Structure 1
Amino acid sequence: MKAITVVPGDVDQVRTDDVAEPAEAEGALLVQGDLLGICGTDADIVHQGYGTPPPGEDRLLVGHESLGTVLRAPQDSGFAEGDRVVGIVRRPDPVPCEPCSRGEWDFCRNGKYTERGIKERRGYGSERWRVEPEFAVKVDPALGDCGVLIEPTSVVAKAWEQTERVFSRASWRPRTALVTGAGPIGLFAALLGVQRGLEVHVLDLDDSGPKPGLVADIGATFHTGDVRDTGLRPDVVIECTGHGPLVFELTDVISPDAVICLAGISSGTRTVPVSTDQVNKSLVLENAVLFGTVNASRRHYEQAAEALARADRAWLERLITRRVPMSGFKDALRKKGDDVKVVVDLHA
C-alpha cells in the first residue's frame, strides 16, 4: 500500500512509499484512510527534525490528523464496517505513570508516551491503517469529510475544559473571550467560545483571505493590530499563536481574575526585553492565571466531535481550503495565502 514517509529534518526525504500492510498488533480495527490533515507539527517534523521514527526504523510514517472508514472490526468492538472514525494520537507510556494509567496520557509525567505519526509510532498517512478500538472515535455521519477536523478541535476542547476548571475557583463566570490567532486552532477555539455563549473576539495579524469572514459568520468579532489597541478587557484568553511577546502583552489587557490559556507553540527563537517584575505584579494583583495546555485525552476528542456536530457544516467545509494527493504532501506543508486547513486525499 502507499504511505507518506519522511526522515525528520531532511526535506529531501519526503516520499510516497510502498510499505507493508499495517500489522494486526497495531489495532483490531482495519481502516481505509480517507483524509489526513496537515498542521504545523508536520512542518516541524520535516523542516526542523521534530519527531522520532519507531524503534529500529529510520523513516517515520507521518500523519496524526486522521479520518478513515472502517473496513473490518471485531463484533464486540463497538464499531462496524462503514463507520467513519478518527484515530487518537497519543498512547500512554508502558510503565504507566499515574495520569497515563487513568487515561490522561495528555498529562504524562515521565515523557515515555508515544504518538501516532510523531513519536515512535507509525502515523495515519497511509491508504490503510489499524487502530485499537479504545483509541478510535466514531464520527457523526452528518459531519462527512469535516470529521478530519476533530483532532485539532480536541486540542482546544481540552483548553476550554481546563480553563473552565480554573474559573470554578470563584462564583463569577466569564463573559468576554479573546482568541489570539485565526489559524485552524484559533478558529476552533472561537467556535467553542461562541458555543459557550461568550462574546468572542479574534485577533490576527492578517485581515486578507477568508479568516475575517469565517470569524464573523460564527458571530465573533475580528481584529488586527496591537492587542493593546483593541480596547478589550477579556475575561479569558485562548492564545493560539505561540508568539512570546504577545503572551506578556496579554497580561496588560486582561480583566481582573482573568485566565490566559496558552495553546500555541512557536518555533522562533526571538528575544525581547520584558519586565518580569511587572508581569508578576499584574498576575498577582489581578488574581490572574496563566497556564499552558497540550495534546488531548479521549474525552476531549469526544467533546470535539460533539462540538463540530453542533456547528454549521457549511462553515466547517470552508475551513478545508485545499486538498492535495499523497504526492503533494511536501508542497502542502507551505501554506498559500488563502489556506486555512490543507488536507491530503489518501485515495489520490
Structure 2
Amino acid sequence: MRAVAVFPGTKEVGLIDVPEPVIERPTDVKLRMLEVGVCGTDREICGFHYGFPPEGQDHLVIGHEALGEVVGVGSGVTGFKVGDLAVLTVRRPCGEADCASCRVGRQDFCYSGRFTERGIKNRHGFMTEMVVDDEAYLIPVPKHLRDVAVMVEPLTIAEKALIEVWQIQKRLPWECPHAGHGGAPGDRFEAGVCHHALVLGAGPIGLLGAMAFRAAGFSTFVYSLEPAGSEKARLVESFESTYISAKDTPIDRLMDRIGTIDVVYEATGASRLSFEVLAQCGPNAAFVFSGVPGLRGPVEVNTDLLMRRMVLNNQVLLGTVNAGRDAFEAAIRDLEVFKKRWPDALRALRTGEFPIEQYREPLLGAAGIKNVITFG
C-alpha cells in the first residue's frame, strides 16, 4: 500500500510502498485512512528540521492529523465496530516504570521524554492507506462530523490549553463581572465573556484556538501580521471575534484595543513577539505558549521588568504540548458547536484537498490554512 515517507539520511521525500498492517492483538483496530491533515510540523519534517524514523529504519511515514474508518477489529475490542469513524491520538507512552504520567495514559505529560509520536518521533504515522493501532488510542467521531473531523487533532492543542487555564484560574475569584472588564453587578454574562483572550497568530492552530476560546465565552482577539480587511481578518470576524493587525497596532497599544488581557494563547513560535506581549498582560493573567521557536539566536528581553510584573500581578506563564484524551473529546464537542454557530468559517479553514499521489504540493509547496491529503 502507498505511504508518504521522509528519508532523513538522503534528504528525500517520496511516495513508497509499504506492507499493509494486520490485526495482531485482541485490542487492535484497523482503519482505512480517509483524510490526513498537513501542518507546520509535517512541513518541517519534510524540510529535515525535525522527525525521527523508528529505530533501525531509514524512513519515517509522516502524518499525525488523521481521520479513519474502521475496517476491522480484534477479538477484544469493545468500543468500535466496522464502519465507525475515529481519530487517533499521536503520542504513545514511554514504557518507563517510574513515569507516573505514561502509566495512567497521560503521555502528553511524559516525565522521561522517551515517548514516541506517530508520524513525528520514532513511530510511523498515518499518511498511508491503512493503519492499525490499539483501541486505547482511538477516539470515536460522530458520522455528521465526517467533513470536519480531520481538524480534531490541531484543535486539541487549544483544548488542552483551555483545560489548563480553567484549572489554574481556580486559584482566584474569576467570576464575571469584575474590575476592569465592564458590566455592572447583577449583569448576566455568557460563561467567561467578561474575560479577554488574545490569540497570537492566524495560522490553523491560532484560528482554531480562537474559535475554541470564543465558544468558551471569552471576548476573543486575534493578533497577526495580515492587514485589516484581509481574508484572514474577515474569517476571524466571521466567528464573532476581533482581528487586530500588527501593521496597524503596535504591541504596546494592544491594551488600548482590548482592555485588560486575561489570557494569551500563543500560536506563532515567535519568541520576541511573545515576550513583548507578556509585558502587556493584566492582573492574574495566564499566558500559554504552544509554539516551538527555531533556535535563531538570543533575543533581548527586559527580564527585570517581566519578572517584576509577573510577581506583582500574580501572572502565570505556561507551556503546553500534545494532548490527552480529554482534549480530543473536547475538540469533537467544540467542532459540533463550530459547525452550528460558524459553518462558513469552519469550511474556510479547509483550503485544499490533494489525493495522496499529489503529496508534494501541500508538503513542499505553498502552505494553506489547512491542506488535507485524501485517499481514493
Q: Same fold by TM-score, threshold 0.5 exceeded?
A: yes
Runs of at least 5 residues in structure 2 that lack an aligned partner in the other structure = 176-191
Contact 1:10 1:49 in 2 (8 A): no
Runs of at least 5 residues in structure 1 that lack an aligned partner in the other structure = none
| d(CA) in 1 for partners of 2:153, 2:84 | 17
Shift of 1:214: 1.8
Please tell me the residue identity of whatever aligns with 2:232.
K
Which position in structure 2 is the counterpart of 1:189?
209
Shift of 1:335: 5.8
| d(CA) in 1 for partners of 2:49, 2:289 | 23
Please tell me the residue identity of whatever aligns with 1:236.
V
**Normalised TM-score (structure 1):** 0.94
Matched, 1:344 2:373: yes
Are the structure 2 counterparts of residues 121 and 25 from structure 1 closer, same or farther at C-alpha, using a change threshold of 3 Å? farther
Which position in structure 1 is the counterpart of 2:113?
111
- Structure whose CA Rg is larger: 2
2:154 to 132, 146, 152: 152
Aligned pairs for 1:1-348 (under 5 A) are 1-8=1-8, 11=11, 13-25=12-24, 28-74=28-74, 76-96=77-97, 97-173=99-175, 175-207=195-227, 210-225=231-246, 226-230=250-254, 231=256, 232=258, 233-267=260-294, 269-312=296-339, 313-334=343-364, 336=366, 339-347=368-376
Give the secondary structure class of the aligned counterpart of 2:128.
Answer: coil
Give the secondary structure class of the aligned counterpart of 1:247.
Answer: helix
Shift of 1:291: 1.1
Shift of 1:23: 3.8
Shift of 1:340: 0.8
Shift of 1:49: 3.6
Contact 2:62 2:119 in 1 (8 A): yes
Give the secondary structure class of the aligned counterpart of 2:125.
Answer: coil
Shift of 1:212: 1.3
Identity of aligned residues (%): 34
Contact 1:177 1:237 in 2 (8 A): yes
Please tell me the residue identity of whatever aligns with 1:203.
Y
| d(CA) in 1 for partners of 2:291, 2:366 | 20
Are the structure 2 counterparts of residues 264 and 9 from structure 1 closer, same or farther at C-alpha, using a change threshold of 3 Å? farther
Q: Which digits, 9 at most, give the CA deviation of each residue in 1:162-195, with x for residues without a partner?
A: 1111111001246111001011111111111111
| d(CA) in 2 for partners of 1:264, 1:60 | 23
Aligned residues: 345
Give the secondary structure class of the aligned counterpart of 1:79.
Answer: coil
Shift of 1:147: 0.5
Please tell me the residue identity of whatever aligns with 1:220.
S
| d(CA) in 2 for partners of 1:263, 1:34 | 27
CA RMSD of aligned residues (A): 1.8
Give the secondary structure class of the aligned counterpart of 1:152.
Answer: helix
Contact 1:15 1:327 in 2 (8 A): no
Shift of 1:334: 4.5
